[in-house]
């Protein structure tokens, strides 16, 4: 069995962002040389997510509005976590959008359903943060 590990770095210029990282994951897959197996992609920070959904800007806007309704950033004083920091909402948003995805690899390709793409979801940006890519297979 072959294994492959890589860390991808991101620095979103805004507090919140959704970034399609599918091309980066496809590059990792090529680099790994693995044709049959599994790829795990996870955020290495507890205020960011990795998830799979449609690459459609209206939907991304809808996610952002929905998450702000569930866990508004302001007022920051509403959260007990915000003693000396202001990112409690980012922890909550990450929890609902998830930590990681696992995708099957078939014939050297990500074996997606229709319209599936992999996204990095940033909820407390403006600093360098990492995503882990781990691939196992043959």
CA quadruple 68, 74, 79, 84: dihedral sign: positive
The residue of the chain with the least Cβ separation from Zn ion equals: 87
Encoded one letter per residue, x for contact with Zn ion by CB under 5 A and - for no contact, window 43-82 reads: ----------------------------------------
CB neighbour list of residue 3: distance below 8 Å, 6 or more residues apart:
134, 135, 136
d(CA 57, CA 65): 12
Query: Among 32, 67, 87, 118, which residue interacts with Zn ion (rule: CB under 5 A)?
Result: 87
Q: Which stretch binds Zn ion (CB under 5 A): 12-20, 23-31, 86-94, 110-118?
A: 86-94
Binding site for Zn ion (CB under 5 A): 85, 87
């Amino acid at each position: 069995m072959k294994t492959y590990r890589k860390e991808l770095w991101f620095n979103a210029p805004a507090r919140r962002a959704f970034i399609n990282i599918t091309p980066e994951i496809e590059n990792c897959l090529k680099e790994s040389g693995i044709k049959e197996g599994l790829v795990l992609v996870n955020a290495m920070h507890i205020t960011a997510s990795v998830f799979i959904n449609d690459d459609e800007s209206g939907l991304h806007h809808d996610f952002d509005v929905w998450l702000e309704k569930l866990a508004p950033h302001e007022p920051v004083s509403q959260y007990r976590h915000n003693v000396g920091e202001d990112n409690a909402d980012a922890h909550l948003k990450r929890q609902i959008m998830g930590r990681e995805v696992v995708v099957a690899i078939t014939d050297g390709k990500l074996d997606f359903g229709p319209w599936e793409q992999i996204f990095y979801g940033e909820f407390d940006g403006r600093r360098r943060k990492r995503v882990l890519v781990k691939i196992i297979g043959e």
